[in-house]
């Protein structure tokens, strides 16, 4: 099956597919979704096919097939919302804990909406009013969509983020997101309304939340961000801009210009902050309860 071609079934349960299909491009996406198209363009959007299934006296089922440039981009869209019921389309699917990073396809369902990732495809299948019959039709549609498609692994950058750090820190379930734009980063963890980390489609990044599992209920989670820039020069330039905008009250450390320097740490209002720049990778940790926590989260992520 071609990566950008899916032939949807004519009938699914009691729902029948309309003969008309709408194709949305980057030129028309804002008209289709009233401004929300920026999210998909930030993940290197190719095009969107929209189809509808109708069943008399029942709500329509809408199918949105987002074709992206790469599997990583399609995975990134799903990674922004991994909540909901895990839907398995084969026996090789992971458990429902959210701790396993599986091979595609991966799907989550909730309140009449199925979201799935399959190679370079991100799909949304929606019904306004959920019924057991509509839910089954949606799941059957998901299965038909992924059937025969190439299986793909999540982005390699996720492998650098360990699930557990010692006996103290563990990733929060379903809080490991992959992205390329500052707009998406701000929806995960707000830093600035400006693009002070120089993110664009030439870069890739992951954001993770580590929670304290040592038994203390008062320790707030820490935010970790890892960015892979196109080259070391762009990474250094990004750190300089970030330093000037976010850490301007502190004397600029030589490590901004020397990517091989040790990590730097600062006490901010929201907790301890740290960064490390090595080659084309920039790691950031924020909101830690103390300097040692910031140090160990940076260093353990760096040893992967």
pLDDT digits (tens, 9 = 90+) for 65-100: 999 999 999 999 999 999 999 998 864 444 444 444
The tokens for 43 are 């993940």
What's the pLDDT score for residue 97?
A: 43
What's the pLDDT score for residue 102?
A: 66
Q: Assess whether 137 and 227 both reside in one domain.
A: no
Cα–Cα distance list, 174 to 5, 51, 78, 104, 177 (Å)? 30, 29, 10, 16, 8
**Which residue has 């600029």 as its token pair?**
252
Write out the residue range of the structural domain in which residue 133 sits: 11-146
Q: Assess whether 196 and 124 both reside in one domain.
A: no
What's the pLDDT score for residue 254?
A: 46
Would residue 57 count as lying in a domain?
Answer: yes
Q: Which of 85, 118, 146 is the last residue of a domain?
A: 146
User: Of all residues in the chain, what percent carry a pLDDT higher than 90?
Assistant: 71
Is pLDDT at 259 greater than 70 in this prediction? no
Q: Which helix (H) or strand (E) holds 233?
A: helix 232-246
Q: Assess whether 128 and 34 both reside in one domain.
A: yes
Q: Which of 127, 146, 165 is the last residue of a domain?
A: 146
Mean pLDDT within 237-262: 74
Mean pLDDT within 255-278: 79
Whether the Cβ atoms of residue 232 and residue 282 lie closer than 8 Å to each other:
no
CA dihedral 273, 278, 282, 288 (to 10 degrees): -20
Assign residue 285 the CATH number of its domain. Answer: 3.40.1000
Distance CA 161, CA 165 (A): 10
What's the pLDDT score for residue 289?
A: 93
- pTM of this prediction? 0.90
What's the pLDDT score for residue 147?
A: 92
List strand residue ranges (DSSP E) for the chain, in order: 11-12, 15-17, 22-24, 45-54, 61-68, 85-87, 106-110, 113-118, 121-127, 164-165, 169-179, 204-212, 222-228, 264-268, 271-278, 281-288
Mean pLDDT within 243-264: 71
Domains in the chain: how many in total? 2
Would residue 6 count as lying in a domain?
Answer: no
Q: Assess whether 22 and 160 both reside in one domain.
A: no
**Which residue has 């730097």 as its token pair?**
264
| Whole-number average pLDDT of the chain | 88
Distant-in-sequence, close-in-space partners of 103: CB < 8 Å, separation ≥ 6: 92, 151, 152, 153, 154
Distant-in-sequence, close-in-space partners of 45: CB < 8 Å, separation ≥ 6: 26, 29, 37, 66, 67, 68, 69, 73
Distance CA 80, CA 156 (A): 17
Q: Assess whether 165 and 291 both reside in one domain.
A: yes
Distance CA 179, CA 243 (A): 21
List alpha helices for 8-131, DSSP H.
Answer: 29-33, 37-41, 71-79
Per-residue pLDDT tens digits for 35-45: 789 999 999 99
Q: Assess whether 109 and 160 both reside in one domain.
A: no
| pLDDT band (50, 70, 90) for residue 14 | very high
């Amino acid at each position: 099956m071609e990566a950008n071609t899916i032939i949807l079934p004519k009938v699914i349960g009691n729902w029948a597919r309309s003969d008309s299909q709408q194709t949305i491009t980057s030129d028309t996406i804002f008209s289709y979704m009233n401004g929300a198209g920026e999210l998909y363009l930030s993940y290197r959007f190719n095009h969107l096919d929209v189809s509808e299934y109708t069943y008399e006296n029942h709500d329509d089922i809408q199918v949105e097939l987002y074709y992206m440039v790469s599997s990583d981009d399609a995975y990134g869209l799903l990674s922004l919302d991994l909540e909901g019921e895990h839907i398995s389309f084969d026996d090789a699917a992971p458990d429902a804990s959210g701790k396993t990073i599986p091979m595609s396809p991966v799907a989550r369902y909730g309140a009449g909406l199925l979201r799935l990732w399959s190679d370079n495809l991100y799909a949304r299948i929606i019904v306004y009013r959920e019924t057991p019959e509509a839910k089954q039709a949606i799941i059957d549609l998901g299965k038909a969509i992924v059937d025969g498609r190439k299986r793909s692994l999540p982005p390699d950058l996720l492998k650098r983020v360990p699930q557990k750090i010692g006996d103290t820190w563990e990733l929060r379930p379903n809080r490991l997101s992959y992205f390329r734009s500052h707009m998406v980063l701000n929806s995960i963890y707000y830093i600035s309304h400006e693009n002070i980390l120089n993110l664009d489609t030439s870069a890739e990044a992951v954001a993770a939340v580590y929670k304290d599992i040592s038994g203390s209920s008062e320790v707030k989670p820490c935010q970790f961000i890892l960015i892979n820039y196109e080259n070391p020069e762009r990474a250094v330039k990004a750190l300089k801009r970030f330093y000037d905008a976010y850490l301007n009250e502190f004397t600029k450390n030589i490590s901004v210009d020397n990517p091989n320097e040790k990590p730097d740490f600062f006490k901010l209002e929201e907790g301890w902050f740290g960064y490390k720049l090595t080659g084309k990778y920039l790691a950031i940790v924020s909101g830690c309860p103390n300097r040692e926590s910031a140090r160990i989260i940076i260093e353990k992520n760096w040893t992967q």
